[in-house]
Structure formats: structure tokens, C-alpha cells
Amino acid sequence: MVTTDQIVTLGIFGATYAGLIVVPRWKLPVVATACVALLLWPGLITPAAALQAVNWNVIMLYFGMLLVTETLIISGAPAVLAERLVRQGAPAARAILLVCVIAGLISTVVENVAAVLIVAPIALAVAKRLNLSPVPVLIGVALSSNLQGAATMIGDPPSMLLAGAMRMNFNDFFWYHGRPSIFFAVELGAVVSAAVLWLIFRKYRGAAPAPERQKLHSAAPMLLLVFLVIALALSSVLLPGWAYAAGSITLIAGAAAAASACSSLWAAWCKAA
């Protein structure tokens, strides 16, 4: 029997979803906070029950990855990698496809919106110098990034939510209950999507220009990301019973990345002063 409280709660959830779609991005926290208040104010849920319902492992996982991703972008490491791979003089179709593949690979370990932001300037530069519309190129980058974000536990927020709901660890995305897991299905989809993108892009002629020269400001965030992936893989074996293992490790890596970025900014400020 559906109760009145359940109907009201479902209505508030629907209103929240609609609000998040309609309002500007910077007002999203206001909408979420207001809808939580609507749940707490009439007593549909108590504050204690609300806190217990939060999956803190996912929160720590997402926040830690956010810090690692942002410092990785600031360091310039992904842009340098993309620039090195997209060489001057490569056929246009191959260069565009390679940009899409790079976006997908980066997205396996970096949140896919950030991966698009990393690769988009290179995609735009290639399209501009070849006198091509950037629309199909950017769509290819977005699709590749969005697909590959589901390949690992740290690639995208939905993957983190799935891991939290199903009590999956980092290695479960590769091998789950004795069978190949979602990673291999995603990679199969990536191969098929690359073939489709090649059919779309092969009509483009000419040679790719040299991408804008990128500078590596610090190698620390990239090293932290490598450490994070290894630590998450080992934690699945060494700490199988700890529900907050992935979140704690990722949050520690995020804090270290933020500290590294602050240290670099402080050193630059002192040098300028």
C-alpha cells in the first residue's frame, strides 16, 4: 500500500530532478538544498536517518577524484600527452579519430567532463586549421569520453554510484564473480564506436597541423593518479571488508594533490614577489 508520505517524497524527488534540469548550473546546490529542506521540515525523514542514508564512501570517492582531476588539468599533463600523440602531418581523418580515442582513454581515470575540457582545445585547433566544422569532432570527443567513463570505478560519477550501491571494489569493474566485467564490454563498445567514427571522418582530407605547444607545470598530479589507481587495485585485495577503503584512499590522494597544487602556487607567488 502506497502511503501519503511516499507519494509526497516521490513528488519532491520529481521536482528536484526537474529543477536541476531547468535552473542555471551555479544554482544547482540551492535547488538540492531546498528539496532536502522540504523532506526534513514536515518530518518525512529525520536528520539522523538522512545522514545514515548518505553513502559517504561515494562522497569521498567523488570529492577526492574532483581534487585529483582539477590539479591534473592545472599541471598540463593530459594536454601534453594529447599534443605528443597528435603529430603534425598526420592524415586529417586519423588525427581527428586519435583525438577522440585520447579523450576516451583519459576518461577512464578522469571524470569525463574534465576529459572533454582537456582535449577540446586540441580538437578545436585541428578542426580550425583544416577548415572543418568543429561540431562533428567535438561530438566524437564527447561520445568517446562519455562511453569510456563507465569503464572503471573512478571514470565517472555513475560508476562511483554503481560501486557504492552494489558494494563493488575497483577490481570488480574488470573481473566480477569470476567473469569478465563491465570494463571489457565498454572497451568492445569503444572499438565499435571508433570504427563508426572512422567511417564518418574518413571523408576529411589534408594533413593535421601541429597542435599548440603545451607545457608540463608539474608531474606530481600524474604520479598521484598512478599511485591512486595502484592503491585502489591493491585495496580490493588487502582491504576487502572495509566499506570506506576506496573513498578514503581517493580522498587522501585528492588532499595530497591539493597540497601539491597549493605548494606550487605558493612557490610561484614567492618567486614573483
pLDDT for position 196: 92
pLDDT for position 211: 62
List, for the chain, all residue ranges whose pLDDT scores fall below the cut of 70. Answer: 81-90, 129, 206-212, 236-237, 240-241, 273
* Amino acid type, 65: M
pLDDT for position 189: 92
pLDDT for position 187: 92
pLDDT for position 192: 93
pLDDT for position 188: 93
Q: Please report, for the chain, the start and end positions of each structural domain, with discontinuous segments joined by +.
A: 4-53, 56-272
pLDDT for position 259: 87
Cell of 127: 578542426
pLDDT for position 184: 93
Residues 138-159: pLDDT tens digits? 899 988 988 888 888 888 878 8
